[in-house]
Structure 1
Amino acid sequence: MPKVGMKPLRQHQLIEATLLSVERHGLMGTTISTIAQLAGVSTGIINHYFGGKQGLLAATVRFLLQSLHDELMKELRQINPEDSVARLRAIIKANFAQIQTSDKASKTWLAFWSQAMHDPEFSALQQVNERRLLSNLRFSFRRLLPKERVEEAAQTTAALIDGLWLRMALSTHPISVADSGNYCMAYVQGVIRQSQTQANVTHKTLGTRRHD
């Protein structure tokens, strides 16, 4: 009879082995055998818990998504919930956290994004990831920008996060985590300042017209 609590421990062990296998062998080179060898278990254990390689790969991606969510919640607990700029900084920081930028995670994300173009299950997970990021960005920008600027700001910030993360993962001279976060925040602060300047100009213009 299996020990109580063994299932989640074994599943986590297999997910960690999957991340390591993808790092070492790539997605195509990762097999049930390579994962089982790294985890120190029989191949039958993988089939028992996940139904095979595809199920384990999907579980590994869900693990990365949950880790990203947990990291964001941790960052948000440390700020004033009414401070929308701090909230945007927390979103950016979470996306460049160590769990998301390590070699194991980076190579798995890259393999996942490539596979998402052809695999409906991975595509659905990617859409969850995209919707979650954009929803969080829109929520914060709505408190800072006119409604007609919110979508553009959210989409551009999301593209900066993804693009800088990709540069970090692929470049032989990658941008640092700190610089990546700073570049994203520079855009965020710039678009907020621009909006505030335009609002002030409009306010002054209207005031002048009223006095005329």
Structure 2
Amino acid sequence: MPRPSLKDQRSQEILDAYLSCVARYGLEGATLARIAEEAGVKRPLLRHYLGNKDDMITALAEYVVAGFAESLNGLREVLPNGATPSDLVDALFADDSGTDPRLMLAYQALVAAVPDRPDLRQDLMDSLTEFFDVVEDVLKRASPDATDENIRAVTQGISAIFVSMDALSPLELPAQWRAELKLAASMLASTLETAP
């Protein structure tokens, strides 16, 4: 079996460093110097591995979307067909959920760049829609009598709570807040049991 190329490996390491820098400093603050330092390479190598700044942003967006897809596959694996809304909330808000908060922070930075980089919009929207679809699917199966409108509203609410938790991760939220966010998502999910 052939070994992965050094270029592929180094590109992944640089993308991970770029992800860390964007999560910490934002898209504009993730300078070539910071990325190179984080990756442990010389600045000229960034262009060699990832191209110019536009190419780097495109590569980062692809990396973030791929990271979300991987996390979403993990979520699907832990949610069997008979998963309940409680199972969903437990999986999303588990301490060891496997979600990398840097992904959400970089995602937000990329979303903020969409007015200048409209080419990023569709992949970011598709990634978010796929997440909504997984949440909605669990809720629909668990509450078949709930209206589509209520299912979508609860999907949006749970998703917003989950996203805000990662988005606020740089604040190092108190553990109690995480528990309260999980409880809020659970309470929202439970409304489907009584909804028409």
Short-chain TM bin: 0.7 to 0.9
Q: 1:139 to 1:25 in 2, by over 3 A?
A: closer
Q: Does 1:126 align with 2:145?
A: no
Q: Quick one: which amino acid aligns to residue 99 of structure 1?
A: T
Question: Which residue in 1 is equivalent to 2:29?
Answer: 29
Q: Identify the residue that residue 99 of structure 2 maps to in structure 1.
A: 99
Asked if 1 retains the 8 angstrom alpha-carbon contact of 2:68 and 2:127, the reply is no
Percent identical residues: 17
1: distance between equivalents of 2:19 and 2:87? 30
SS in 2 for 1:77: helix
Q: Given residue 187 of structure 1, which amino acid in structure 2 is its aligned partner? A: L
Matches within 5 A, 1:12-91: 12-85=12-85, 88-89=88-89
Offset of residue 27 of structure 1: 1.7
**Distance of aligned partners of 1:117 and 1:106 in 2 relative to their CA distance in 1, 3 Å threshold:** same
Letter aligned with residue 165 of structure 1: V
User: With structure 2 as the length reference, what TM-score do the two structures score?
Assistant: 0.74
Structure 1 182/163 Cα, relative in aligned 2: closer, same or farther at 3 Å? closer
1:135 aligns with 2:136: no
Q: Which residue of 1 aligns with 2:184?
A: 183
Match of 1:209? none
Other structure's SS at 1:143 match: helix
1:85-131 deviations in Å (ceiling 9; x for gaps):
3663366348x945343xx4443233122112432122122211222
Paired residue secondary structure (1:83): coil
- Give me the whole-angstrom Cα distance separating, in 2, the residues matched to 1:81 and 1:40: 44
Tell me: CA distance 1:87–1:61, structure 2 relative to 1, closer, same or farther (3 Å): farther
Report the number of matched residues: 190
Q: Cα–Cα, structure 1 residues 116 and 31, in superposed 2: closer, same or farther, change >3 Å?
A: same
Counterparts in 2 of 1:152 and 1:92: CA distance versus 1, 3 Å: farther
SS at match of 2:38: helix
Q: Residue 39 of structure 2 aligns to which amino acid in structure 1?
A: A
- For residues 79 and 168 of structure 1, the distance between their equivalents in structure 2, rounded to whole angstroms, comes to 21
CA contact (8 A) 1:134 1:158 kept: yes
For structure 2, the 5+ residue unaligned runs are none
Alpha-carbon separation, structure 2, partners of 1:29 and 1:76: 34
Contact 2:64 2:106 (8 Å CA) reproduced: no
* TM-score relative to the length of structure 1: 0.70
Aligned to 1:99, what secondary structure does the other structure show? Answer: coil
Instruction: Please list the CA deviations of residues 129-157 of structure 1 after superposition, one character each: whole Å capped at 9, or x if unmatched.
Output: 22212222332233234577224323442
Shift of 1:13: 0.8
What does residue 11 of structure 2 align with?
A: 11
Higher relative contact order at CA 8 Å, sep ≥6: structure 1 or structure 2?
2
- The equivalences for 1:145-160 within 5 A come to 145-146=143-144, 149-160=147-158
CA distance in 1: counterparts of 2:65 and 2:138, whole angstroms: 21
Please say if residues 68 and 103 of structure 2, whose CA atoms lie closer than 8 Å, have aligned partners that are also in contact. Answer: no
Distance 2:190 2:48 in 1: 50
| 1:168 shift after superposition | 5.6
